[in-house]
Structure 1
Amino acid sequence: MGRWICCLCSRGADPLMLLLVLALGCDPSTAATASPPVPHVKPSYTFGRTFLGLDKCNACIGTSICKKFFKEEIRFDTWLSSHLKLPPSSLLSYSGNYTDDGKSWRAVDITRLSSVQGGRWLRAKRLTPDLVQVGVLGPRPPTAGGAWGRASPARPRGGEGSGGGALPGGCERAGGGARPACSGEVARPWPACQSGEAKWCSDGKPSATVEGQALPGTGGPPPRGRSCSLERALRRTPRLQRWLRAKRLTPDLVQGLPSPLLRCPSQRLLDRIVRRYAEVPDAGSIYMDHLRDQDRLRLLYTLAVNSHPILLQMFPGVEGWPFPRYLGSCGRLAVSASTRPLRHFLGAAAEVAADLALQLLAVLRSMAANDLKYFFYFTRVDAGTFGVFSNGHLFIRDASALGIIDREEGSQPMDGQQEYRDIFSCLAVDCQAAFVSCDSIRDEHSLVMVCQDLLPKLLAGKFLPPVQERIDAFLQRCARGFGDSQGAEEAMEELAEMLKPLRSCDSRFAYRYPDCRYSDKY
């Protein structure tokens, strides 16, 4: 070291350079071979298009929040761990955290777009006949063509075999082969795929694979280049062609879709769907000029499979509606504010159960009577339909089973709705599913369902005998229906009067505390 320093001095080195060498303790033997510093690698998710459902777009919800996923500003865990390990892709919902600044995080629910049938596929451990059983479609619509072309029997291919095994009803074996063919003028998807979708090939013939996997009775995967594209099949349908030409969403464009939201459509309701559609940057108009072709397909597909994300956009919680906030979507994943399912509170203390039951009645009351004169009704309820925020406030957690009747404008009659079916009618439900008449929905409809399936589980055995007996007697009478003897409003008020004295006012109910100490409202 000393010889090297002397060499520097003898050559008239800059004194400052000499001082720097002494301060750093530089070794001339290693100065030229020093390796550069290794950059710190930030952990990140190994996202794939398949996990998010982007490989299915534009048969998906949208892409409005994809940047948040790829920037790790949405985490798939509740403890914000640093390893960023992805959960299984087979789940229908996930707990997560969301941030706008990287510092403050809030809990969110991440749900995968799926129908009831799709949920059964994802939960199944073994492929059973009921999972591939789909209903036979009705007569062809007047504007036949595209994917609704003639369903001619398929010729068996060499090597397909002639094995046995039952085929779903409505199909027959063609030429003794194993590949099913649909007879007559009846067109049907065969078979149902893993996500509950009906797979159709671009030539209108049923697909032989699901995501590249051979399905029972099809004799194996098709030759290369013959796989089925769901989006391509949907684009060939007469319905989507009418959507692409339309200037405004009208009742005839949603005719035959299985969503309860669209069973009793009015023009005012459909205008609200388009005006509040949050997956496009310039929403706000009732006309669809600002929607690209891919936006129209995404909106139609979401309405056909599960209208829950659309309802959250139409009726945001910030306007007082009992729904969690919709944050956006990426592929087939939708993100909204987090709530705990009501099923977690079925064993809660008596005062908590009374408070939740009162909130549930208030939600039903607001759904039946509101300033916009929309009448909301449930087609099914269970302990997962409602959820509770961390402050104790109860909301509708799953809006997929909600139907709406416009009490101001009324629903527009659609002749032949029972007979009209296409591929969009069968993406989520059995193609033979019957539509509920709008005229058959009574004011007490949702209250009776709640009395049958939810309130007995929440309130059973929680109170002292005299009060409990009165509550049980009311629930039994409510579950049978009131007929003309009592209206829904009077019935809810009767139960509310029993429950109000049973709830307490403390910090467990942060949504109304400490206001409940000073206001008779609580």
Structure 2
Amino acid sequence: MLRFLPLKLGRLYRCLKLLFVVGLFIVLLMNTHNLFTSFQKNELTDRRFIQLNKCPACFGTSWCRKFMNGQVTFESWGRLRFLDVFNVKNVYFAQYGEPREGTRRIVLKRLGSSQELADIDQKICKRATGRPRCDLIQAMYKTEFARLNGDVRLLTPEVVEGWSDLVHCPSQRLLDRIVRRYAETKDSGSFLLKNLKDTERMQLLMTLAFNPEPLVLQSFPSDEGWPFAKYLGACGRMVAVNYVGEELWSFFNAPWEKRVDLAKQLMDIAEQLTNNDFDFALYLLDVSFDNFAVGPRDGKVIVVDAENVVVADKRQIKQNKPENYDVWYESKFEECEKEACLSFSKDILCSRVTVDHNYYAICQNLLSRYATWRGSTGGLLHDPPPHIAKDGQLDSLLDECANPKKRYGRFQAGKELREYLTQLVGPAR
């Protein structure tokens, strides 16, 4: 009887697949008129669609002229609104065109699901009026987002601490950096909050509280060598970032040499975000194969989802000297049945100078045998060539980096793993 089970499951799968195709065909027929309308209309010029009408309860306006001029257009399937039900993250591919430069691919993000955005509206209304619905624009001026309007000079830690991962433990130096590099104002370059317009302050604070990813990309820009996608601008609740390339997941079964190169870059990212000349440690709390992408031309690995990043100011930690600040902190390995799970304490990440979290996250969730994603196991460095497998050094370093057996073992294993991968990559990439 058991031998017939796979056959039955196969038939069931084919039936479900057929039903899905038929259902999709019926939906297409029922939406034929809307289908043609969608392809003819550029909804990115519609103020209500991009929710520009909700500003300053939005992410910015620096790219509105480009949107309104029709320079930004959805790619093919992105124009079909009935497919939004499958696009839970509200991430779209689009084309951006400059008259003299031609068009290029970009990524548009609403920075949250439709429900999360609706929840934000309700919270703003409830805080301002006590009701779930209200005039959102008027309500913004009665919330904490308007508290700093007027002649307030600085954005200070006590105002925004804990609002999001980015400012879980903010220093004045970090907040000055965020304000100085804020791209949604014409007068960027000053750390003085009073130089921003009232609406710009509210937009900055709402972004900081709801989804600080745009501020991470602006404060630690790719132009300075940080491994993040380039921030382009925003209009209403639509943010534009540079298209990097295919997700890291697409390279799970790439040739061995390619996977080694990608693994080496991932370990370099862990090192750069942990130890850099700026003395800011950026800890990645959400590490999975779909949060990284690979450039099609240069093969460079880039972080494409920077919402969950804790930034710790090492200079502040050394100055304030909290308890055990100079004791090396080892992240605790915790095997779980879910994909891309990590164990961490934000408070500890914010109070230690030397932390191995980024190496732990990269090794456990991406490189080692503990990494699982979409049903695949073994990590990015699965199935090494026979001579590498026989040597055993790679497996030993990956195991110690993910689940160390010795005290401070991950610190040493991370360093040796980077060196080992560098040797495997060779002098030329």
Q: What interval of TM-score do these two structures reach, taking the shorter chain for normalisation?
A: 0.7 to 0.9
The AA in structure 2 aligned to 1:480 is N
The answer to whether the aligner puts 1:387 opposite 2:387 as a matched pair is no
What is the CA distance between 1:462 and its match in structure 2?
A: 3.8
**Which of these two proteins has the greater Rg computed from alpha carbons?**
1
Q: Which moved more, 1:265-274 or 1:361-370?
A: 361-370
The answer to whether the aligner puts 1:305 opposite 2:210 as a matched pair is yes
The AA in structure 2 aligned to 1:253 is V
The AA in structure 1 aligned to 2:278 is L
Q: Secondary structure at the match of 2:123?
A: coil
2:274–2:358 CA contact under 8 A, matched in 1: no
Residues 318 and 60 of structure 1, relative CA distance in 2, 3 Å threshold? same
The AA in structure 2 aligned to 1:453 is N
What is the CA distance between 1:452 and its match in structure 2?
A: 1.6
1:303–1:310 CA contact under 8 A, matched in 2: yes
Q: d(CA) in 2 for partners of 1:371 and 1:107?
A: 33
The answer to whether the aligner puts 1:252 opposite 2:158 as a matched pair is yes
Larger RCO: 1 or 2 (CA < 8 Å, sep 6+): 1
Match of 1:406 in 2: 313
Q: Cα deviations across residues 69-99 of structure 1 (Å, max 9, x unaligned)?
A: 22222221179xxxx9465556311112222
Corresponding pairs, count? 349
In the TM superposition, 1:271-290 aligns within 5 A as 271-290=176-195
Q: Which moved more, 1:312-321 or 1:99-108?
A: 99-108
Match of 2:59 in 1: 61
Match of 1:367 in 2: 273
The AA in structure 1 aligned to 2:255 is A
What is the CA distance between 1:243 and its match in structure 2?
A: 5.1
Higher helix share: 2
Residues 77 and 491 of structure 1, relative CA distance in 2, 3 Å threshold? same
Residues 441 and 370 of structure 1, relative CA distance in 2, 3 Å threshold? closer
What is the CA distance between 1:499 and its match in structure 2?
A: 2.4
Alignment RMSD (CA, Å) = 3.1
Q: d(CA) in 2 for partners of 1:356 and 1:380?
A: 18
**Unmatched 5+ stretches in structure 1:** 1-42, 123-191, 208-226, 414-433, 505-515
In the TM superposition, 1:104-123 aligns within 5 A as 104-114=102-112, 118=113, 121=115
2:222 to 298, 307, 317: 317
Q: Cα deviations across residues 384-428 of structure 1 (Å, max 9, x unaligned)?
A: 221111221111111111111112234998xxxxxxxxxxxxxxx
Q: Cα deviations across residues 478-505 of structure 1 (Å, max 9, x unaligned)?
A: 22246643363x322311233234437x
1:204–1:233 CA contact under 8 A, matched in 2: yes
Match of 1:497 in 2: 419
Q: d(CA) in 2 for partners of 1:298 and 1:203?
A: 17
2:91–2:109 CA contact under 8 A, matched in 1: yes
Q: Cα deviations across residues 113-159 of structure 1 (Å, max 9, x unaligned)?
A: 22xxx47x48xxxxxxxxxxxxxxxxxxxxxxxxxxxxxxxxxxxxx
Match of 1:265 in 2: 170
Q: Secondary structure at the match of 1:106?
A: strand
What is the CA distance between 1:435 and its match in structure 2?
A: 5.7
Q: Secondary structure at the match of 2:260?
A: helix
Identity in percent: 33
Q: Secondary structure at the match of 2:347?
A: coil
Q: TM-score, normalised by structure 2?
A: 0.73
Q: Secondary structure at the match of 2:48?
A: helix
Residues 318 and 104 of structure 1, relative CA distance in 2, 3 Å threshold? same
Q: Secondary structure at the match of 1:436?
A: helix
Residues 491 and 262 of structure 1, relative CA distance in 2, 3 Å threshold? same
Match of 1:145 in 2: none
Q: Which moved more, 1:48-57 or 1:59-68?
A: 48-57
Q: TM-score, normalised by structure 1?
A: 0.60
The AA in structure 2 aligned to 1:393 is K
Q: d(CA) in 1 for partners of 2:61 and 2:167?
A: 24
Residues 410 and 501 of structure 1, relative CA distance in 2, 3 Å threshold? closer
